[in-house]
């Protein structure tokens, strides 16, 4: 005869243990995001985060085909370094790479100031102002430590999922309810958190590009180009495939939500915009200088 508690009691103990672990993590890792005061959960040191970002970036550069276009590479580095200077984060060793992939409309940031731009997004940036919109957004992700935040939330999610599955295995929790609870957590917490990070990167990025000497008003036409629609037609007569996904089930804000928010923030960002402070090697306005890159296939 075993002394194990009955299934319902064992399930409760598993869930209680998970809750205790979660509370301990939360109590030691809560902080405020710089620039927005949003509540953040970060359970990893910045030093470790930087080391992880560097290792991941090195792995990416080993396998990714880098652009051989010197003009594009120079432009991405020039824009990136100006934005990095505006970020005032000298402990980060900022690096910028251009990955040759015309089909990949994307860019990403890794912890510690490692940023990569895929050539596929250049047909949408069009100008240095458009490129600054993208790169300032990615630099903001690094500044706000969004990677560390996702890493930390992943730890809590694993604790919660293990507790739910253990409860189901012990017979005290209906498996369907356990899976449903985990799915609800993803929609109710994890996805909104990811959207919060995207919104925060838009907000901070708008100010960064302005401080770097790029007109923040360039962000609106860039996101219109990314949507594939004129502003007033987004979601009405003009659709992208992503628009079929309801916003509450998406990790990113909808095109309309994002553009509306950016337009509301532009007056604040313009207070930081001083184009006359641009370095002398760029006599042309960055928002007017055309950008070379892959020609759209459309």
For the annotated catalytic residues, the residue numbers are 138
Q: How far are the Cα atoms of 125, 129, 166, 216, 285 from residue 290, in angstroms, in the given order?
A: 10, 10, 58, 17, 10
Strands 30-32 and 39-41: antiparallel
DSSP string, the chain: ---PPPHHHHHHHHHHHHHHHHHHHHHHHEEE-TTT--EEE--S-HHHHHHHHHHHHHHHHHHSPBP--HHHHHHHHHHHHHHHHHHT-TTS--EEEEE--TT---EEEETTTEEEEEGGGHHHH-BHHHHHHHHHHHHHHHHTTHHHHHHHHHHHHHHHHHHHHHHHHTTSS-HHHHHHHHHHHIIIIIHHHHHHHHHHHHHHHHHHHHHTT--GGGHHHHHHHHHTS-GGGBTTTB--GGGGS-GGG-SS--HHHHHHHHHHHHHHHHTT--GGGS-TT--S-TTTSB---PPP--
């Amino acid at each position: 005869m075993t002394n194990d508690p009955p299934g319902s009691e064992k399930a409760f103990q598993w869930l209680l243990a998970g809750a205790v672990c979660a509370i301990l993590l939360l109590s030691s890792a809560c902080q405020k995001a710089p620039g927005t005061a949003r509540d953040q959960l970060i359970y990893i040191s910045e030093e470790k985060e930087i080391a992880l970002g560097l290792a991941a970036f090195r792995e990416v550069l080993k396998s990714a085909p880098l652009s051989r276009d010197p003009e594009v590479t120079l432009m991405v580095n020039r824009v990136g370094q100006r934005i990095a200077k505006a970020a005032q984060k000298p402990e980060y060793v900022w690096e910028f790479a251009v990955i040759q992939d015309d089909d990949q409309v994307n860019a990403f940031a890794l912890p510690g100031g490692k940023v990569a731009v895929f050539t596929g997004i250049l047909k949408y940036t069009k100008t240095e102002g458009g490129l600054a919109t993208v790169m300032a957004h990615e630099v903001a992700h690094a500044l706000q430590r969004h990677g560390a935040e996702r890493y930390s939330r992943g730890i809590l999610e694993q604790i919660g999922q293990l507790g739910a599955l253990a409860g189901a295995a012990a017979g005290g929790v209906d498996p369907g309810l356990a899976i449903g609870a985990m799915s609800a957590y993803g929609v109710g917490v994890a996805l909104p958190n990811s959207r919060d990070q995207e919104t925060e990167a838009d907000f901070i990025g708008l100010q960064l590009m302005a401080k770097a000497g790029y007109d923040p008003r360039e962000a609106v036409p860039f996101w219109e180009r990314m949507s594939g629609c004129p502003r007033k037609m987004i979601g009405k007569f003009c659709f992208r495939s992503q628009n079929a996904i309801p916003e509450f089930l998406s990790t990113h804000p909808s095109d309309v939500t994002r553009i509306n928010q950016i337009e509301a923030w532009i007056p604040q960002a313009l207070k930081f915009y001083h184009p006359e402070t641009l370095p002398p090697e760029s006599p042309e306005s960055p928002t007017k200088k055309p950008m070379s890159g892959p020609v759209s296939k459309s």
